[in-house]
Amino acid sequence: MREIDVAVIAEKIAQMCISANYNLNDDVYSAIDEACQSEPSKIGKNILEQLKENADMAKQLQKPICQDTGMAVIFMDIGQDVHLVGGDLNKAVNDGVRKGYIDGFLRKSVVSDPLLRVNTKDNTPAVLHTRIVPGDKVCIDVAPKGFGSENMSKVYMLKPSDGIEGVKNAVIDCIEKAGPNPCPPMIVGVGIGGNFELVTELAKRALLRKVGSHNPIEYVKEMEEELLQRANSLGIGPQGLGGRTTVLGINIETYATHIAGLPLAVNISCHVTRHAHAEI
């Protein structure tokens, strides 16, 4: 049994909140760079160059890539041979988020009550997803998520008879209706299966995958490729001003489901799809 003090986790999360908001992930940056070479629209190409310049400046100056530094979403895989000591894990996670958002001068965007709308002034509480896995390590992903894109996301409780084509059409419909609102080019996480609450987590986890990677299930990989092509034929383009680069990547995750259901979640993310990974 390996002991890990939750204070170590809190400090790591604080660092990750800052890093994720200052440094655009290499896979996303490379995808934007590649799109610059292939985008036929002059305006679209110019916007993509500006997105690269913005990311370069944020990294160089260590400033937020976007003014919306998001609600902190934390994914934590905890090894079953780990004994967490030193206090409450949930408190430690929020202590880390609080420290990161204050020390990093990141915008505090969380309100304590969804209807009364009083800002907590430290971006807590975070959203925490935990899984118990084999091993003696704790793996952490911090994924700040802005709501310009989050608000464009949707859950569909489809019928099994809707099948693969129904799923594809719903994903494209969601992207098309999102239009310019999520600051395209988008990255799209798709969850299929499970139940009402699990399918949304699948879609969110899908956004952690590298742009350009594919689901190992062959037919799902083919869906990712087809949907990416269809999405980029919509003509929405960078920042919604037209072009072929509407979506940088579509990542699909699946799970078993009930005989009577076909849950589908589409989690839209902007071109600044932020996440940081660490292992303790």
Q: At a CB cut-off of 8 Å and minimum separation 6, what does 128 contact?
A: 74, 76, 90, 93
DSSP H or E segment with residue 262: strand 262-269
Position 1 scores a pLDDT of: 87
Look at the pTM and tell me if it is higher than 0.85.
yes
Residue numbers of the chain with a pLDDT score lower than 50: none
Position 53 scores a pLDDT of: 97
- Sketch the domain layout of the chain as residue ranges: 2-20+65-145, 148-273
CA-CA distance, 31 to 270, in Å (whole number)?
A: 13
| DSSP of 158-225 | E-GGGHHHHHHHHHHHHHHHHTTTT-SSEEEEEEEEE-HHHHHHHHHHHTTSPTT---SSHHHHHHHH
CA-CA distance, 142 to 180, in Å (whole number)?
A: 26
Q: Is 153 helix (H, G, I), strand (E, B) or coil?
A: coil
Give the closest residue to 268 by CA, choosing from 194, 164, 197, 180.
Answer: 180
- Helix 163-178 / helix 218-231 crossing angle, nearest 10 deg: 30
